[in-house]
Structure 1
Amino acid sequence: MASSERPPTIDPVAATRWERTAPAASPWLHEEVGRRMEERLQWIKRAPPAWADWEPVRGGLEAHALVAQRYPQARSYAVEPQPARAAVAKERLGKPWWKRLAGGGAVEIGPVPAGAVQMLWSNMQLHMAADPEALMRQWQEALAVDGFLMFSCLGPDTLRELRSLYAALGWPAPGHEFTDMHDWGDMLVHGGFAEPVMDMERITLAFDTPERVLRELRELGANLHPKRFAALRGRGWHARLLQELSQHLRGPDGKLTLTFEIIYGHAIKPLPRARVGEHSAVPLSDMRAMLRGGRSRE
């Protein structure tokens, strides 16, 4: 993806740094969103023989367990490119070799072979990617034909209270902008997926203290905005921030509240189509899939 086509408020260097240094833990909000997304699997009648969880340590290890419980006989993969989180995934999700031999629920920690899974699960990751279409291409490559994608991410209405406060104070934005669900749908189609279905909901979290607000935000992510404040903040600014949060985010019940817009997406990897031209090259794997699809329709 060219730099002009990237999400306009994500600094790719900062995004790479966050991917490398993000805590090896599952934030509470990620687990809650994962639980809600797992409930949506009840509407999908065909159980996948194999599925992949893309970065489950950040996406939610408890959510991973719920999906594994729904598909107990399915083979599963955990994709964790960063060594620290891969070690956590191996410790939490891996099984001893004698249990893996029995099959059913065995988790492979590592990359997914092309076309090896019928479901790709990605929870609360896409909004932190500087090149989301490149990530979607990886997902599509891992999926088998007729396999489906389930993902969630933050939407543009997230942290509207905090954004309004920073704007009123004349401070740089507290976070990068998040992509609208309709744009995600367009990107999915452009990336070769079919029949995208998008929807959203808003979750409001309440906190007792401004310190707890900041701790929650640090667990969830980082500010990837290219025009974020470039230097370190001092103690005076930090004290001012706590004061402003306490004053402007507090509701009638005395709690400090923040809104999170959650986007859910579902799409299918369709049967590949051969490009027709004077000279056309078709990958062997695509040709096999097209032939299988033709026989099944007959």
Structure 2
Amino acid sequence: MSHALPPTIDPVAANHWHAAAPAESPWLHEEVARRMQQRLDWIVKPPQQWCHWEPVRGGMEAHELLRERYPQAECTLYEPVARRRTEAQEKLTSRWWQLARWKGAGVQVAEPAEASQDMLWANMLLHTAADPQTLIERWHKALKVDGYVMFSGLGPDTVQQLHQLYAELGWGPAGQAFTDMHDWGDMLVHSGFAEPVMDMERITLTFATPERLLQELRELGRNLHPARFAGLRGRGWKADLLRQIAQRWADKQPDGQLALTFEIVYGHAYKPQPKVRLEANSSVSLQDMKAMLKQPRNTGLR
């Protein structure tokens, strides 16, 4: 396995979850997307073309906030899984008889062309990728020079209460280890991005019952650790898990609510002007050559 891959993620399980995940946006994904779109206040120049990468899981309500923010920008929705692609087509594009189709810029469901986007938006996706380095490289390829990526994902301190419970019971890992934000920054630079800005926050949710807590976790994902339970577990094991959560949960509130913490990592980086190394024989892609020819000779400050 490449050193760029997450250290404790099973690629087969990760790809299976990516294909099988429900065609809906979990509440936490919507909340993170709402917070991330507020960071767009820092961006001076609005995009003319932008791509929403896997919007059905990333946040369909948040997609409307982005469309309101950039009503005249053309939008490409990228959904590689057929049933989520159908959901995006039905829920996030306008029909010919709807006023929104004629008031704003167009929306298409497609894979973005190379060097076609000013902004690429990917919410709560990267932490489940079997090969995140390759995914980041695909984002870089889709962006124009000076285009930027906005993404979010889960960080290492996510659901530590559940990890602690599993460890106390000797049940092995409760989930894969999530990548530190500084490592995401290194991956961005390795993929050709510049000026990466990484930050994080913690969101704590509380649940009245163990059943509701488990429901939330199942909506968000699965245990993708290679050393997870090898087989299916029955009703008896689930009943025991619910009982252990009720009795031994490490973070109970005074009113009995069960607290569960999520570390949210946000990332932002630009695609810089391509540089060609001076060698006896140098090569450059047609897209990069066009981008370089458009740049002024004296670049100065951005």
TM-score by length of 1: 0.96
Structure 1 pair 296/58, CA: closer, same or farther in 2 (3 Å)?
A: farther
Alignment-mate amino acid for residue 77 of structure 1: T
In the alignment, the residues of structure 2 paired with residue 74 and residue 276 of structure 1 have an alpha-carbon distance, to the nearest angstrom, of 38
The aligned counterpart of 1:42 is 41
Q: Kindly provide the amino acid, as one letter, of the partner of residue 115 in structure 1.
A: A
CA contact (8 A) 1:197 1:267 kept: yes
2:282 is aligned to: 280
- Structure 2, unaligned runs of 5 or more: none
Letter of the aligned partner of 1:139 in structure 2?
A: W
Deviations along 1:56-90, one digit per CA (max 9) or x if unpaired, are 00000011111111001000011000000000000
Q: Secondary structure at the match of 1:294?
A: coil
AA partner of residue 85 (structure 1): R
Matched, 1:66 2:65: yes
Q: Shift of the alpha carbon at 1:281?
A: 1.2
Instruction: Indicate the SS of the match to 2:202.
Output: strand
Q: Could you tell me whether the CA contact under 8 Å between 1:68 and 1:105 is conserved in 2? A: no
Deviates more, 1:272-281 or 1:152-161: 272-281
Q: CA deviation at 1:166?
A: 0.4
Judge conservation of contact 1:272–1:290 (CA < 8 Å) in 2.
Answer: yes
Counterpart of 1:14? Answer: 13
Q: Which moved more, 1:90-99 or 1:159-168?
A: 90-99
What is the match of residue 291 of structure 1? 293
CA distance in 2, matches of 1:66, 1:296: 38
Contact 2:4-2:133 at 8 Å conserved across structures: no
Query: Which residue in 1 is equivalent to 2:265?
Result: 263
Within the alignment, does 1:167 sit opposite 2:170 as a pair? no
What do residues 121-160 of structure 1 show as CA deviations (whole Å, max 9, x unaligned)? 0000000001001001110111110001100000000001
2:88 is aligned to: 89
Distance 2:50 2:189 in 1: 21
Q: CA deviation at 1:248?
A: 2.6
- The DSSP-based 3-state class of the residue aligned with 1:147 is strand
Q: What amino acid does structure 2 have at the position aligned with 1:283?
A: S
Residue 215 of structure 2 corresponds to 215
- Residues 269 and 98 of structure 1: CA distance in aligned 2, closer, same or farther (over 3 Å): farther
Indicate whether 1:239 and 2:242 are aligned: no
- Does 1:77 find its partner at 2:76? yes
Q: Shift of the alpha carbon at 1:98?
A: 6.5
Query: For 2:217 and 2:31, how far apart are their aligned partners in 1?
Result: 15
SS, match of residue 284 in structure 2: coil
Q: What is the TM-score of this pair, normalised by structure 2?
A: 0.95
Structure 1 residue runs without a partner (length 5+)? none
Query: Equivalent residue for 1:143?
Result: 143
Alpha-carbon distance change, 33 to 55 in structure 1, aligned in 2, over 3 angstroms: same
The one-letter code matched in structure 1 to 2:42 is W
Confirm or deny: 8 A CA contact 1:75 1:103 kept in the other structure. no
User: Across the two proteins, how many residue pairs are aligned to each other?
Assistant: 297
* Alignment check: 8 A CA contact 2:115 2:144 kept: yes
Residues 36, 54 of structure 1: alpha-carbon distance in 2 compared, 3 angstrom cutoff: same
The whole-number CA distance in structure 2 between the counterparts of 1:224 and 1:190 is: 25
Corresponding position of 2:254: 252
SS in 2 for 1:297: coil
Structure 1 residues 95 and 295 mapped into 2: Cα distance closer, same or farther (>3 Å)? Answer: farther
1:56 aligns with 2:55: yes
Asked if structure 1 preserves the Cα contact closer than 8 Å seen for 2:145 and 2:271, the reply is yes
CA RMSD of aligned residues (A): 1.5
**Counterpart amino acid of residue 188 in structure 2:** L
CA contact (8 A) 2:94 2:101 kept: no
Q: Percent same amino acid among aligned pairs?
A: 58
Give the drift of 1:114.
0.9
